[in-house]
Homo-oligomer: A and B are copies of this chain.
Amino acid sequence: MTIPQQPAGDEAGRGPRKNRLSREVVLAAALKLVDEEGLEALTMRRLGQALHRDPMGLYRYAANRAALLDGVTELVLDELAIFGDDPDWQGQLRRIAHDLRLLALRHPNVVPLLVTRPLSTPLGLRPLGTLRPLEQILGLLIDAGFTASAALHVYRAYYGFLYGHILNELQEFIVDPDENEALLRLGLHRLPPKEFPRLRALAPQLADYDGAAELDEGITILLSGLSAHLAAPLLTKD
């Protein structure tokens, strides 16, 4: 039941020789904890024991628990690759959307952090890693010919829809492994029939939700809508 050893550091190149701790190692362990046991399992003490360190020592790598959470979101967002030099901005936005969706499915427990941490931190004070996607997408759009403020509009509509979709999909996708049948898994039979007739009737459709297809459709609608609405009014003004 004892944890064997800290496995080989997954940093590229210069692996720390012995037991040397680093911010990256700490954050990686934190992310692992969150992925495996949920957000509330990430306590200083649990993280300390996962790293075979005194919990207090962790404060060298994150000022407090909130900073730790920020670090985790940063770490996750680093998995998202954005290529600012692609001239096909629509294709790029579509690809990024799917990548972010997959990333959210890979780290569902981190999604609450992704959406709520920015709510309590002014834009300029956020971890740089969480602002980089914004900057890069703005660059992508501006390089594609958009005005700066038009790019901001497009970004807002795009990211808004994207985050909304992810929240939606994750809300419906609850792994309740012991109940598998659609109706049971969703627990819809608990709803009073008179008050919720349509929801109950939609059980089968709710059960086979194709998130990727739904996202793709949405992006298509959004992109065509944007290019139609933005062409005239926004590319010119201001």
Contacts and interface: CB of A to CB of B under 8 A. Distances in A.
A53 interface: no
Interface residues of A, number: 69
A90 B156 CA distance: 22
Nearest to A158: B164
A111 B119 contact: yes
30 contacts: A112-B112, A118-B171, A121-B174, A123-B188, A124-B187, A124-B189, A124-B190, A124-B191, A125-B187, A128-B196, A131-B199, A135-B198, A138-B202, A148-B198, A148-B201, A148-B202, A152-B202, A152-B205, A152-B206, A153-B214, A156-B214, A160-B165, A160-B167, A163-B164, A163-B167, A163-B168, A220-B225, A221-B221, A221-B229, A225-B225
Nearest to A136: B198
B122 A112 contact: no
A217 B150 CA distance: 13
Among A195, A196, A220: residue with most chain B CB under 10 A: A196
A190 to B, nearest CB: 5
What is the interface of chain A mostly: helix, strand, loop, or mixed? helix
Among A151, A157, A190: residue with most chain B CB under 10 A: A157
Interface in A163-214: 163-165, 167-168, 170-172, 174, 176, 185-192, 195-199, 201-202, 205-206, 214
B220 A221 contact: no
A222 to B, nearest CB: 7
Contacts of A201: 148
A149 B187 contact: no
A215 to B, nearest CB: 9
Contacts of A81: none
Contact of A123 (B164, B187, B218, B226): B187
